[in-house]
Structure 1
Amino acid sequence: MRVTNILTSQSIKTVPIDFSPCVWVVSCFIRHDSNPKLATYAMSAGAVVNLLADYLFIIKMGMGIEGAAYGTIISQVLMLLTLLSHFMRGKGNLTLSFEGIGISKFRDILAMGVPSFCVEIATAITIILFNYTLLTQFDESYVVAFGLNTNLGVFALFVMVAIGQACQPIMSFNYGAKRQLRIEQTLRLGLKVAIISGSLFLIIIWLFASEIASLYLGDSSQLVPLATTALTYYFFAVPLMGFNIVVANLFQAIALPKRATLLALSRGFIFVIVGMCFLPEYLPINGIWLTTLFSESLAAIMALMMLSNYFRDSRLDRASSYGS
């Protein structure tokens, strides 16, 4: 009976997979179509409805995992319908149309979307590699500490991704309008907000890491100090993380996907692998926790070099246009 319930719930949970990509894609179009408030309302309403549905189906009706699956389905459908109202009311500049779809457009879309894909897939692969390294070279207490690190770190990552995504449509629009000064102003503002936000995260963790770890782990004499160290070292990288993500979004916005992909892969995968291979060997106790700071620091150097080249090229383009 238990196996049947699990299989049933798993089959139900596959249904939202059909809606989730639609929700994320449509929300991106709506943000770019000058209606970010609707995207925010839709996502917020979906989250609230999901929580209420989980309470109703799981706690009140005792449906367990199956109830959670139904709650997810309902929230996803609600979000999608709310987002589609943007097109149904006809208030935006974009309309739903299947005309003119061809291989070349798909190729362009894939090229511009690869950097974002790299950020997501690199995060998943990095978590797997971290867990494997911690289990093979250390012990389970390190895995528990890394689990807390992952939960709080992903929250900080999403904030930085949100800042980058907020800047991207503005930079993209001004790139099409050939307003270089607006692009640079948006970039500076995005970098400023990302670095300040990352610094605030760091200050909070620096001051309250032990208390935060105790909330999750209780009063374990071994785990709390370990998790405190892991959190502190990780969040030193968050301001640099924000810097790197905003720069990657810039290159996506101005149709330079190769640079964006290289930066995303480097900070989220290549430099992480290098750090995991060498840092624990030279710093046996804290080397593994310094991996993220190591990778983000190297990526920031790469991002600065890319930005320097970009600004140099843009100045040359402006000088040539004035000369002509």
Structure 2
Amino acid sequence: MAMSTKAAILQNSLFSTFFKQFFLSLIGLIALTTASLVDGIFIGQYVGAQGLAAVTLLLPYITFLVALSLMLAIGGSVTIGTFMGKGDTHSASALFTQILVVTVTLNIVLAGLSYIAEPALFWLLHIPSDIAPLTKQYFSVLRWVFILQFSGMVLYYLVRADGYTKLATTALLIGAVSNIALDALLVGHLGFGMEGAAYATGLAQALQLIILLAFFADKSRAITLSTFNKPWRRLFYVLKNGISEFTNEISVGVLFLVINALLVIRSGSEGVAAYSVVNYFIFLSIMLSFGIADALHLLVSYNRGASQLTRVNAFLLIALGTVFIVGLIITACLLWFKQFFIGLFLAPTQQVSNYAYIIILYIWPLFLVNGCNVLLSVFLTAIERPFHSAVIALGRSILFPVCFLLFLFHFTTSTSLDKSTDFSFLIALPIAEWVTLCCAVFFVYKHYYLKRNT
């Protein structure tokens, strides 16, 4: 990292330092989120509700790939940030190189395996026969795109760890804008459908990765491609420190699998399509929260490495206030303007739209606290409490929601008259987030505030 950037993180005023990092992270993640939302809009408008359902049914597998990437990216960037805070650029460079090699190799292997075992994968994902053709069209292209996409995701985090936040943000921004333009061309104008959406994603990811690779052309960077003169066993420490992010994402994948199965049983593919629209806004909320968490974990890693615990405390409080305000805004928009936002994806006359309106009424309390849970989980990772962070991730992503979902689904199945329109079991999702928040606050208080003040 450039010395001026490091000095700013360790010495500049709290609010200006936090919001500068937050702004840079937010621009890139908003761009990334916008691209995903636009994908959904074009698929919903030009392919239809079944296209949205096809994308949603693939989410468990996609979140598995995200889980692996984030475990390497966040676990690695936290460790690299600690090395940089101590001035050990040699160790940081060696670890940077090792993570890149593992990431690219792993994504190539997984793409090949998904091609060989596609029928088994579709069976595992519970993809109905009426959705399978559209899913196959989309996935036949996307499986190879994932090599670029998730390698680029890891590189994004590692480049930021060396202070190149502007380059990383620029890459995400250009990639997202390109994705939107290509969606408009391939899906909207040329009518290539699901394959067009997948090709648009692939071309945009390739452009994004090329921009990120410009990092290696800057000779002033602190981190370089190093020979492997550091032990590879350090990667196990990286994986351990990133285990909470892996647990969080893989649990989300399992949760998607459970929700998809219950929705198919209750309302068929229309139920899956309706939830997929609402899920775009859950995704927006989570990505905005990760933008705040990205800023926080970088600031916490450096200041903790420099033993400036007062600044660590202040940055946490600022981040929590920011993420709560974001949740309030999203909640208000969905409750007051749900017809407008759902109409971006689906025609208001469709039955799927009515399903989506009902779902919003059950899950809106989720948006008030899910960002706080993401933030506290990342904070515990940054202070090297991966186990407790993983507990939070398990609580919000699989343990509480799956238990509550299965219980409420059984109860509503037994009592409801019109089962196809009864989505009340989805209230399990906000209940799980609120219960998890209580656990997260307890862990942070016990393992950070209480320890710090004793």
In structure 1, list runs of 5 or more residues that go unmatched: 1-5, 317-324
Following superposition, the deviation at residue 151 of structure 1 comes to 2.1
Q: For 1:229 and 1:97, locate their aligned partners in 2 and report how far apart those are by CA, in whole Å.
A: 55
**Aligned counterpart, 2:253:** 124
Two-structure CA RMSD over aligned residues (Å): 2.9
Alignment counterpart, residue 202 of structure 1, candidates 318, 331, 348? 331
Do 2:286 and 2:374's aligned partners in 1 also have CA atoms closer than 8 Å? Answer: no
Following superposition, the deviation at residue 129 of structure 1 comes to 0.8
Q: Which secondary structure state, in structure 1, belongs to the residue aligned with residue 331 of structure 2?
A: helix
Give percent identity, aligned residues only.
23
Q: Which secondary structure state, in structure 1, belongs to the residue aligned with residue 233 of structure 2?
A: helix
The answer to which of 171-180 and 120-129 deviates more is 120-129
**Aligned counterpart, 1:3:** none
Q: For 2:199 and 2:147, locate their aligned partners in 1 and report how far apart those are by CA, in whole Å.
A: 14
Alignment counterpart, residue 425 of structure 2, candidates 288, 299, 314? 288
Following superposition, the deviation at residue 165 of structure 1 comes to 1.6
Do 1:263 and 1:303's aligned partners in 2 also have CA atoms closer than 8 Å? Answer: yes
Following superposition, the deviation at residue 140 of structure 1 comes to 5.2
* Deviation by residue 1:56-100 (Cα, 9 ceiling, x = unmatched): 566777877666555444433322221122232133322222433
Instruction: Say how many residue pairs are matched.
Output: 311
Q: For 2:187 and 2:269, locate their aligned partners in 1 and report how far apart those are by CA, in whole Å.
A: 31
In the TM superposition, 1:78-93 aligns within 5 A as: 78-93=207-222
The code of the aligned residue for 2:347 comes to: G
Following superposition, the deviation at residue 138 of structure 1 comes to 5.0
The code of the aligned residue for 1:190 comes to: A
The code of the aligned residue for 2:307 comes to: K
**Aligned counterpart, 2:306:** 177
Q: Which secondary structure state, in structure 2, belongs to the residue aligned with residue 240 of structure 1?
A: helix
The answer to which of 276-285 and 294-303 deviates more is 276-285
* Deviation by residue 1:250-308 (Cα, 9 ceiling, x = unmatched): 11111111111111111011111111122334565553121111110110010011012
In the TM superposition, 1:1-324 aligns within 5 A as: 13-53=142-182, 71-137=200-266, 141-220=270-349, 223-282=352-411, 285=422, 287-310=424-447, 311-316=449-454
C-alpha spacing 1:119/1:315, structure 2 compared with 1 (3 Å): same
Do 1:195 and 1:242's aligned partners in 2 also have CA atoms closer than 8 Å? Answer: yes
Following superposition, the deviation at residue 185 of structure 1 comes to 0.9
Q: For 1:307 and 1:16, locate their aligned partners in 2 and report how far apart those are by CA, in whole Å.
A: 38
Q: Which secondary structure state, in structure 2, belongs to the residue aligned with residue 218 of structure 1?
A: coil
The code of the aligned residue for 1:125 comes to: V
The code of the aligned residue for 1:48 comes to: V
The code of the aligned residue for 2:325 comes to: I
* Deviation by residue 1:183-240 (Cα, 9 ceiling, x = unmatched): 1111111111111000110111121123333444434485544422312332311121
C-alpha spacing 1:307/1:10, structure 2 compared with 1 (3 Å): closer
The answer to which of 12-21 and 82-91 deviates more is 12-21
Following superposition, the deviation at residue 147 of structure 1 comes to 2.1
* Deviation by residue 1:4-43 (Cα, 9 ceiling, x = unmatched): xx99996665443332222111110122222222111101
C-alpha spacing 1:9/1:168, structure 2 compared with 1 (3 Å): closer
Which of the pair has the greater relative contact order for Cα pairs under 8 Å at 6+ separation?
Answer: 2
Do 1:153 and 1:235's aligned partners in 2 also have CA atoms closer than 8 Å? Answer: no
Normalized against structure 2, the TM-score is what? 0.62
Q: For 1:62 and 1:286, locate their aligned partners in 2 and report how far apart those are by CA, in whole Å.
A: 33
C-alpha spacing 1:194/1:105, structure 2 compared with 1 (3 Å): same
In structure 2, list runs of 5 or more residues that go unmatched: 1-134, 417-421
Following superposition, the deviation at residue 109 of structure 1 comes to 1.1
Following superposition, the deviation at residue 125 of structure 1 comes to 1.9
Normalized against structure 1, the TM-score is what? 0.84
Q: For 1:73 and 1:265, locate their aligned partners in 2 and report how far apart those are by CA, in whole Å.
A: 31
